[in-house]
Structure 1
Amino acid sequence: MIRTYELSHESKTPLYVQLYEAIRADILSGSLPGGEKLPSKRALAEHLSLSKITIETAYAQLLDEGYLTSRERSGYFVAHMPLLAKAPARHTPETTKAPEIAPQQNAAAELFPFSVWAKLMRSVILDEGQYLLQPVPNGGLLPLRRAIAEELARQRGLVVQPEQILIGAGTEYFYALLAQFLGRGQRFAIEDPCHRTLAQVYSRSGAEVVPVPMDESGIRVAELEASGAQIVHVSPSHQYPTGTVMPIPRRQELLAWMGRGEERFLIEDDYDSEFRFSGLPIPTLQSLDTRGRVIYLNTFSKTIAPALRISYMILPQALLARWRSTMGFYSCAVPSFEQLTLTRFLDGGYFERHVSRMKKHYKARLQGLLALLAQPETARLCTARQAVAGLHFLLEFHTKERGQSLRAALGDAGLSAPLLSEFYLRKSPAEAERCAVVQYSGLTEADFAESLRKLLQTLRPETE
């Protein structure tokens, strides 16, 4: 029997979102057990009097988040999730405001709203006056922290209070502070491969860094357990450089690992989660955390401009007093002028419109690049992987050239793309020697087509 879901055509929530949430609720409650087959898209569309595309979009979101699995010519099935835990409902933060404390790669340049930013800067200078010259509170200005809390509630379903949000000059700044806060000498687990800067900052800050291997779902929890680490740093929404999006079952495994030790913490680096080109944002680990031990990081450098070194960290309520007592002597490194300009950019709706414009731009660019790769001659040479979110994808080559010979050929063809093997802290697998990490935010179709043309002339397919 096909289940019936009560959906409202009058609601402001899209029908596919209503259906997605209804099916997800049944999975989380156990009403839809693991392994159960869902109706076909056509059958459910007819049963609910909905379009097939509505069903397809809802199923795709559930598939992306790991609630469903698909089998070719068999359909969709509920994923087996032995560590099933109900996700908290999404809602906006409470309206009560914390008392204000006395004042103490790469966004495309052509998309940046310079005129709007300049207007907001002028208004801040005119309106704020002497306020701009006063010391900035340790955690940042309260107006910006409020604006970020409201933006996160709207866009990511995160329920946080402004006092939990701390403002800093880039995520590397927070990496160093967290190494001190959680204890120098602590063992920090990080995903392998990863951005080497992450390992360098933690290591230079006194932490013992332990690389933990990944699989297609993200960091391997069994190896994490064996590592002896008490703290793990992950990027579940879009890992760099692999591009892996961590499904819900693996996220639950990570949270269960955290729950097996009182001093275990998860650091969630959500650095370019805004650039997801289909469906809803994947729920954050922070939103699934019921123990209050997930520390959330994000930055405006990817969405606005790299030169705007403003990042933020969300601490669990239980850690706020400890942070103030041990780290409260640090000054906020972001000037109040930049903080207040960004506050008006958020409050005025400019940020939301800017991100929407950038998503359309980058989605179109990615589709254009993938179309070039889909051409028969090029498809014999290489294949795009993990091209579903973020501003980079993997380019896997089916050629006799590997490692440094492939890297040299890419450079000669004008394609600046490091190999995946260069990001491993331990020995890289053989397949990483034939995968390039392509940052496409500044890559035009014309330039990519020319690089592919040169590569076709120089690289030798495996099948020759």
Structure 2
Amino acid sequence: MKELAITLDTEKKQPLYEQIYEALREAILQGRILQGEKLPSTRFEADYLQVSRSTVELAYDQLVSEGYIHAEPYRGYFACDVRELYDLTDIRTGDAKTFAMEEAETVHSDWKKSDVLRKAEKTSYQIDFSLNELSMENFPYSGLSKIMKNLLLDQGEQIMSSGSAFGENNLKETICDYLYHARNVRCTPEQIIIGAGNEYLQLMLIQMLGVSHCVAMESPTYLRAYRTFKNAGLSVREVALDESGMRVDLLRKTKASIAYVMPSHQFPLGIVMPMKRRLELLNWAVEEPERYIIEDDYDSEFRYKGKPIPALQGIDRSGRVIYLGTFSKSIASSIRVSYMVLPEQLLERYRVCCGFYACTVPNLMQQAICQFMKEGYFEKNLNRMRAIYKSKHDFMLAELKKYSWVRDIMGENSGLHLLVEVDTKLSEQQVIEACAKQQIRVYGLSEYYISQNPKREYPILLLGYGGLTEEQIADGLHMIDAILAEMVCQTL
């Protein structure tokens, strides 16, 4: 293919790279670009469209990350086959308002920590590369304070009532609109359930679906969800990942009826599930009745290259995806407000099984978040946080590249942490304990495996940067460098 004719509208607010991305995506889905067909080089297409090469590169990178095309070194970009895996032609489109109308025997290594690490959890660290801390110094406290004050003054008696068991409708309408535009989640407000944290919503799901289900989970994974399912009595099977995420061939062998996945940014590996694997997963779900996919949209808001990856729920036309989201990363971890989007066929079952529970999020907090979003504070804060975290992400990347002990860096361009493969003969545990003794807290990848922790030649550390300043990041990495150098000397 020599060139791709794409009409670009410079008057639109939509960035040019997004217009190129969408045009190419549609051409691949509609078969106008065939499987294996080579795309023009970024330089050639940039000259043809009269745009910068970086604009075309951004569009191509987005298509690669979603699995529409793949890159072959020294050869170029080629279209992937995504058409025969799942029929997307019936997926409804339109603006948000139009659509809105229409087994316990495995014990994780995290529970077997050494005495050093158990004591370390109570230690005050000089620097903690936490995976969960956020940067809150620029949070619009005054705006949220004003909103809550006005709500109490204007709606005091009403706002102190218990409210709806499923969440307040105006908040659900606002979330519905946000999810459509930001995540391509297609739902009505009635499909949204509000709850205090993802674990609470997971427990509600278990009560509704029943404990006879077997849940397949990625490994390594987000262990709170794993423990929630195990404590509730569900059988849990771990499924290994490859570069595209959960392996569907291994999923089939588990005989599971529920798959718990994080397709937009897998924790902790940072894998973005490409379109082909997403479609394979949806195919698995529709093969048997009562099969569901729980999509945990973990920190999908923070992507620093290209636009955020659309949610799996948005391409599900069979009602098999249960979507989980939270404001813990996008607003603050202490907010403890999460939301669940149920397929329409599960709504009545949820009302019967869980409709008698009171909503666990106070009415005041729901109304405050609703106004926080409607008045623009949420969008401005999220954009500000993206810029701050991108700066920290880029700074940590640059700092890491200065050290000889850094063999490889993974999980970059999104999220709030990086994975670092350490060039040392020391074990992961030895590195973590040595750092802890020097009041530096780092985290090992092995902590996040359910049971089958593969043997690696080199340890992999998870280093979070969300709650650290650039000075703390630099100081912390320098101290790790000194600790590793000292330990090497001790072994000589």
TM-aligned CA deviation for residue 219 of structure 1: 0.7
Task: Indicate if the aligned counterparts of 1:298 and 1:313 stay in contact, CA closer than 8 A.
Answer: yes
Task: Indicate if the aligned counterparts of 1:421 and 1:433 stay in contact, CA closer than 8 A.
Answer: no
TM-aligned CA deviation for residue 90 of structure 1: 5.3
| More relative contact order, 1 or 2 (CA 8 Å, 6+ apart) | 2
Q: Distance in 2 between matches of 1:47 and 1:200?
A: 54
Q: State the match for 1:194 in structure 2.
A: 221
Q: State the match for 1:93 in structure 2.
A: 96
SS in 2 for 1:438: strand
RMSD of aligned residue pairs (Cα, Å)? 2.0
Q: Distance in 1 between matches of 2:100 and 2:66?
A: 33
Structure 2 counterpart of 1:26, one-letter code: A
1:417 aligns with 2:442: yes
SS in 2 for 1:431: coil
Q: State the match for 1:101 in structure 2.
A: none
Which residue of 457, 466, 476 corresponds with 1:441? 466
Task: Indicate if the aligned counterparts of 1:419 and 1:434 stay in contact, CA closer than 8 A.
Answer: yes
Structure 2 counterpart of 1:23, one-letter code: L
Deviation string 1:33-68 (CA, Å, 9 cap, x unpaired) is 221111011111122222222211111111111111
TM-aligned CA deviation for residue 433 of structure 1: 6.2
TM-aligned CA deviation for residue 95 of structure 1: 5.3
Q: Distance in 1 between matches of 2:233 and 2:158?
A: 37
Which residue of 303, 312, 317 corresponds with 1:285? 312
Task: Indicate if the aligned counterparts of 2:185 and 2:314 stay in contact, CA closer than 8 A.
Answer: yes
Q: State the match for 2:85 in structure 1.
A: 83
TM-aligned CA deviation for residue 267 of structure 1: 0.4
TM-aligned CA deviation for residue 453 of structure 1: 2.5
SS in 2 for 1:127: helix
SS in 2 for 1:203: helix
Q: Distance in 2 between matches of 1:429 and 1:272?
A: 26
Q: State the match for 2:326 in structure 1.
A: 299
Which residue of 146, 169, 175 corresponds with 2:196? 169
Unaligned runs of 5+ in 2: 102-131
Q: CA separation of 1:379/1:445 partners in 2, compared to 1, >3 Å: closer, same or farther?
A: farther
Matches within 5 A, 1:211-290: 211-290=238-317
SS in 2 for 1:94: helix
1:124 aligns with 2:154: no
Deviation string 1:97-119 (CA, Å, 9 cap, x unpaired) is 88xxxxxx233221211100100
TM-aligned CA deviation for residue 459 of structure 1: 2.3
Q: TM-score, normalised by structure 2?
A: 0.88
Q: State the match for 1:431 in structure 2.
A: 456
SS in 2 for 1:37: coil
Q: Distance in 2 between matches of 1:364 and 1:280?
A: 17
Which residue of 310, 317, 342 corresponds with 2:369? 342
Q: Distance in 2 between matches of 1:417 and 1:242?
A: 16
Task: Indicate if the aligned counterparts of 1:286 and 1:296 stay in contact, CA closer than 8 A.
Answer: yes
Q: Distance in 1 between matches of 2:100 and 2:287?
A: 34
TM-aligned CA deviation for residue 184 of structure 1: 1.3
Q: Distance in 2 between matches of 1:79 and 1:97?
A: 32
Q: Distance in 1 between matches of 2:99 and 2:209?
A: 30
Structure 1 counterpart of 2:355, one-letter code: G
Structure 1 counterpart of 2:266, one-letter code: Q
Q: State the match for 2:395 in structure 1.
A: 368
Q: CA separation of 1:269/1:139 partners in 2, compared to 1, >3 Å: closer, same or farther?
A: same
Q: Distance in 2 between matches of 1:17 and 1:41?
A: 15
Task: Indicate if the aligned counterparts of 1:381 and 1:399 stay in contact, CA closer than 8 A.
Answer: no
Q: Distance in 1 between matches of 2:46 and 2:293?
A: 40
Deviation string 1:208-249 (CA, Å, 9 cap, x unpaired) is 111111111111111110000000111111111111111111
Q: Distance in 2 between matches of 1:431 and 1:389?
A: 24
Which residue of 382, 392, 411 corresponds with 1:386? 411
Task: Indicate if the aligned counterparts of 1:28 and 1:85 stay in contact, CA closer than 8 A.
Answer: no
Q: TM-score, normalised by structure 1?
A: 0.93
TM-aligned CA deviation for residue 80 of structure 1: 3.5
Q: State the match for 2:9 in structure 1.
A: 8
Question: Does 394-403 or 7-16 show the bigger shift?
Answer: 7-16
TM-aligned CA deviation for residue 277 of structure 1: 1.2
SS in 2 for 1:266: strand
SS in 2 for 1:130: helix
Q: Distance in 1 between matches of 2:445 and 2:431?
A: 12
Question: Does 404-413 or 35-44 show the bigger shift?
Answer: 404-413
Unaligned runs of 5+ in 1: 99-104
